[in-house]
Chains A and B, each alone.
Chain A
């Protein structure tokens, strides 16, 4: 009888199970029970159970961290795992590497949970949306090189706004590698000087569009420095990228219309401005012409002769006034002269002589005092009608000589 230790037994069973290729990669359906997430390590421990039994499950944090949904108690899931043995407890368990919600609406559940989580992070905040440029020069396009989306975008931009450059950075738009590929292309275009980036994909099934719900890709759209317009699928399709983008368009063509102005509209705008320009210039000229006409119709320019006549009239008036004032002045002077002559005449000694007085002169000087005379002085006595000579026979100061 072979006797072995417990450890030996566990190691042997572990080896047997791990050798079986059918147990290395299995998909197991079940419901989550007794879920515990280790606070520090992030590892998840739970059981997968159905009506008949249960099995212990370990999901290490490096795998649990990649889950696209939040596992909850009782949730039906589909897990991919390898079967192993935990030697210490002698228990066999599943090492789950991937897991997804199972059953109808499972993807919807996962999507709803992811959306809620990203919303909480502010990824879809409508106030954080970047404005789209009015006149983009360089438009980045992330899409499949062979898809119809690229052709649609190209056609619309060529028709509406050929003044720009389309920069294609092609990416896989469906399949397992699509999210990483899309994210890489987006980042590449964000690092060159694009004015706006179109993230586009033509229509497809929900599964085909699923890449555009990838959390990493959605975060990349959110963090993109360049405004992003998302156009995935048809009008009724919404992906998380649509919500994270700065603008959402129902189709790639619509995204292109949103990204560029319309040439015809701009041509109309130019025509309007040109019309204004002409109008303004004409107004300026018309204003000047009016001023000129007003000046030209001024009498000074219109009939200069009349102006001269008027000036002549004025000269005449002034001339007359001058003349009159001269005469007035002369008359005033004449009057003063006459008055002065009259006064002079009345004061003349000759006039006194007329009244019978006579003037005594000694050596041609008038004698005005008696006492200056001496006896023997010769006097001339002047009368109004002539002179006579006289001699002083008795002086006033010599009573008795």
Chain B
């Protein structure tokens, strides 16, 4: 997974992937290289999740019913 796509992950997607990684590591039977690669991907996801929670700013939009076609 490239860095660019990582940044595009939603919080929920990142969390889902993170949980999958932990489960995979827990299952064992991985090569050491794969384990370490998963670990560093997981660490990156932790960073992404933390950052998105810490840096998020609530956005407010306004929708005017007149602007939307309603039957």
Q: Which residues of A are in contact with B by a Cβ distance under 8 Å?
A: 134-135, 137, 140, 154, 157-158, 161-171, 184-185, 187-189, 191-192, 263, 266-267, 269-270, 273-274, 276-277, 280-281, 284-285, 287-288
Min distance, Cβ B36 to any Cβ of chain A, angstroms: 7
Chain B residues near A137: list those with CB within 8 A: 10
**Are A185 and B65 closer than 8 Å at their CB atoms?**
yes
Contact A168 B62 (CB under 8 A): yes
Q: Which residues of B contact A266 (CB under 8 A)?
A: 11, 15, 49, 53
With a 10 A CB-CB cut-off, give which of A161, A163, A171 has the most chain B CB atoms: A163
Residues 49-71 of B at the A interface (beta carbon under 8 Å) = 49-50, 52-53, 56-65, 67-71
Question: Is the beta-carbon distance between A167 and B50 smaller than 8 angstroms?
Answer: no
SS class of chain A's interface: helix, strand, loop or mixed?
helix
Task: Say which residue of A154, A168, A171, A267 sits within 8 Å of B53 (CB atoms).
Answer: A267
B67 / chain A contacts, CB cutoff of 8 Å: 188
Whether A284 and B10, one on each chain, are in contact in the complex, defined by CB atoms closer than 8 angstroms, is no
**CA A157 to CA B15, docked complex, whole Å:** 20
Contact of A162 among B26, B49, B58, B61 (CB under 8 A): B58
Inter-chain contact A162/B63, CB cutoff 8 Å: no
Apart from A140-B63, A287-B28, list 19 A-B contacts with CB within 8 A.
A135-B12, A157-B58, A158-B58, A161-B56, A169-B63, A187-B68, A188-B70, A189-B63, A191-B70, A266-B15, A270-B15, A270-B18, A270-B49, A277-B21, A277-B25, A277-B43, A281-B39, A284-B32, A284-B39
Tell me if A188 and B25 are in contact (CB < 8 A): no
Other-chain contact of B60, A154, A280, A285, A288 (Cβ < 8 Å): A154
Q: For residue A197, give the distance in angstroms from its CB to the closest CB of chain B.
A: 11
Interface residues of B in 4-55 (CB under 8 A from A): 10-12, 15, 18-19, 21-22, 25-26, 28, 30, 32, 35-36, 39, 42-43, 46, 49-50, 52-53
Known: A154-B58, A162-B58, A280-B39. Contact between A188 and B63, CB under 8 A? yes
A263: B residues at CB distance < 8 A: 53
Interface centre among A137, A266, A273 (most CB of B within 10 A): A273
Q: How many residues of B contact A (CB 8 A)?
A: 38
CA distance A218 to B19 in the complex (A): 40
Which B positions have Cβ atoms within 8 angstroms of A? 10-12, 15, 18-19, 21-22, 25-26, 28, 30, 32, 35-36, 39, 42-43, 46, 49-50, 52-53, 56-65, 67-71
Q: Which residues of A contact B60 (CB under 8 A)?
A: 154, 165-166, 168
Contacting B61 at CB < 8 Å: which of A154, A166, A288? Answer: A166
CB < 8 Å A-B pair total: 112
Q: Tell whether, in the assembled complex, residue B59 and residue A166 are in contact, meaning their CB atoms are under 8 Å apart.
A: yes
Q: Given the complex, which residues of B lie within 8 Å of A284, measured CB to CB?
A: 25, 28, 30, 32, 35-36, 39
Q: Which residues of A contact B58 (CB under 8 A)?
A: 154, 157-158, 162, 164-166
Please tell me if the beta carbons of B65 and A188 are within 8 angstroms of each other in the complex.
yes
User: Are the C-beta atoms of A288 and B63 separated by less than 8 Å?
Assistant: no
Bound Cα distance A169, B56 (Å): 23
Top 6 nearest A-B pairs (CB, nearest first) are A280-B25, A188-B65, A162-B56, A281-B39, A165-B59, A188-B68
Pull 5 A–B residue pairs with CB atoms less than 8 Å apart, ordered by A. Answer: A164-B58, A167-B62, A191-B68, A191-B69, A276-B22
List chain A residues, Cβ under 8 A from B22: 273, 276-277, 280
CB of A167 within 8 A of CB of B46, answer: no
Shortest A279–chain B CB gap in Å is 9
Q: Interface centre among A168, A276, A288, by most B CB within 10 Å?
A: A276
| Contact partner, A281, options B25, B52, B59, Cβ 8 Å | B25
Query: A164 to chain B: which residues have CB within 8 Å?
Result: 58-59
Query: Given A167-B62, A277-B25, A184 and B50 touching (CB < 8 A)?
Result: no
